[in-house]
């Protein structure tokens, strides 16, 4: 693998860096988990989109720059290094869009992607139900056929972004007589402000409504908002799940930038504490390993590799990657599970090491006048704790790794 970027790719880096230097807000935006912050982040999405930086790897017709995977990685490195705002459109861009690229119709791509890229329409993920979290196939919310579409009823919970978002995507049981739980499901998009939808915000550990419950009472959805064939929703959903666990949700730039900030903290700390020094080194090694892991897969894809259930899982947000979130049979991509366990544990290690370096000062929240990095390490640590849980718990991912990648016998299930 050639670790040097081509001159034209380095020129792209300089262009992106210059734009970010000019446009990234000097004062951090308020939390996107508040009404005020959500509006501010939506405005930031429009700023990105105005110069085609919101979805750099998408085709130009949908608001992108048609950039290669290598350039997407470069942009992500620069974005996080610039400490640019979090992406309120992440559910749409990282999860729904790759699903549409793989399973959507041309009309759906043309209708859904441009307003997603501009931040005009922000999407929530409506996956979990009270008795269907990591065991998604046990979901009970239903879709009943009606003239011109479907009627959705049921209860979704832990729906990220739903407190303030515009639309949502989710999986519903359309054939209750199917012979297996993961059959007879249909993948639909729906309006969070449609008649019959009730949104009830759920406070996170810090009190902010990062999630919401959705109560659906015969909510009409037209046929044009069904992705893929009715009854084949599990296969479509595995594309979304593969990307959630894979690289599009957690690009390496996020971790390499955090590792750089961690090293800066260490240089101001007590040099005699060799235990902390070793933890800093381990975190930096992890971030760089993740970066190289991603580069290797991007290079293989650029060379025309067909990775199927292999290491490309999770790069499907990029049309050139072919939408490789899961294998054609509907089984989860084993490599995206390996990837998810790695980045979620790396994220916790980075933040816990930083908090230990900062001591009591690191516990200060962002609104405190003297909080280090505007409370970023404390907030980031709270968020990192959710990493081993969402997108399928790490226990489930380890089962998948053991059974599908290593060929070991089934264990806890």
Catalytic-residue membership of 218: no
17 three-class SS: helix
As given in the structure block, the two tokens for residue 321 are 């990657």
Torsion of CA 250, 253, 257, 262, to 10 degrees: 50
Tell me the CA end-to-end span of the chain in Å, nearest whole number. 39
Bridge partner residues of 271 (DSSP)? none
- E strand or H helix that includes residue 69: helix 69-81
DSSP notation for 346-369: HHHHHHHHHHHHHGGGGG--TTST
290 three-class SS: helix
Active-site entry in 8, 244, 363, 395 = 244
DSSP notation for 154-210: EEE-S-TTTTT-SEEEEEEES-TT-SSTTSSEEEEEEETTSTTEEEEEE--TTS---
Distance CA 364, CA 89 (A): 28
Residues with catalytic function? 244
């Amino acid at each position: 693998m050639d670790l040097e970027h081509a001159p034209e790719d380095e020129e792209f880096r300089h262009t992106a860096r210059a734009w970010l230097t000019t446009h990234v807000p000097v004062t951090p935006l308020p939390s996107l988990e508040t009404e005020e912050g959500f509006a501010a982040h939506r405005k930031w999405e429009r700023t990105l989109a105005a110069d085609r930086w919101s979805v750099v790897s998408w085709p130009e017709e949908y608001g992108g720059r048609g950039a290669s995977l290598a350039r997407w990685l470069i942009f992500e490195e620069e974005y996080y290094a610039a400490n640019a705002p979090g992406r309120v459109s992440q559910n749409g861009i990282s999860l729904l869009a790759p699903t549409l690229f793989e399973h959507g119709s041309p009309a759906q791509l043309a209708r859904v992607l441009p307003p997603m890229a501009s931040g005009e329409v922000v999407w929530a993920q409506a996956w979990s139900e009270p008795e269907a979290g990591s065991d998604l196939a046990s979901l009970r919310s239903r879709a009943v056929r009606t003239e011109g579409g479907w009627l959705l009823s049921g209860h979704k919970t832990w729906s990220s972004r739903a407190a303030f978002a515009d639309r949502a995507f989710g999986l519903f049981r359309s054939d209750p007589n199917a012979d297996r739980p993961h059959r007879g499901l249909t993948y639909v998009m729906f309006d969070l402000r449609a008649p019959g939808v009730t949104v009830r915000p759920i406070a996170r550990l810090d009190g902010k409504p990062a999630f919401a419950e959705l109560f659906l009472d015969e909510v009409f959805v037209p046929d044009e908002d069904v992705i893929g064939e009715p009854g084949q929703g599990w296969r479509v959903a595995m594309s979304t799940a593969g990307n959630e666990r894979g690289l599009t949700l957690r690009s390496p730039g996020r971790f390499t930038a955090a590792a750089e900030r961690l090293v800066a903290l260490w240089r101001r700390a007590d040099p005699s504490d060799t235990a902390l020094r070793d933890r800093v080194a381990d975190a930096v090694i992890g971030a760089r390993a993740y970066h190289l892991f991603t580069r290797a897969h991007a290079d293989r894809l650029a060379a025309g590799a067909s990775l199927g259930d292999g290491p490309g899982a999770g790069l499907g947000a990029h049309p050139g990657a072919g939408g490789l979130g899961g294998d054609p049979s509907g089984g989860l991509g084993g490599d995206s599970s390996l990837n998810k366990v790695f980045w979620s544990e790396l994220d916790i290690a980075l933040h816990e090491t930083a908090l230990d370096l900062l001591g009591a000062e690191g516990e200060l929240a962002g609104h405190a006048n003297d909080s280090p990095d505007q409370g970023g390490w404390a907030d980031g640590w709270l968020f990192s704790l959710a990493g081993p849980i969402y997108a399928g718990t790490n226990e489930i991912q380890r089962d998948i790794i053991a059974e599908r990648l290593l060929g070991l016998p089934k264990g806890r299930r």
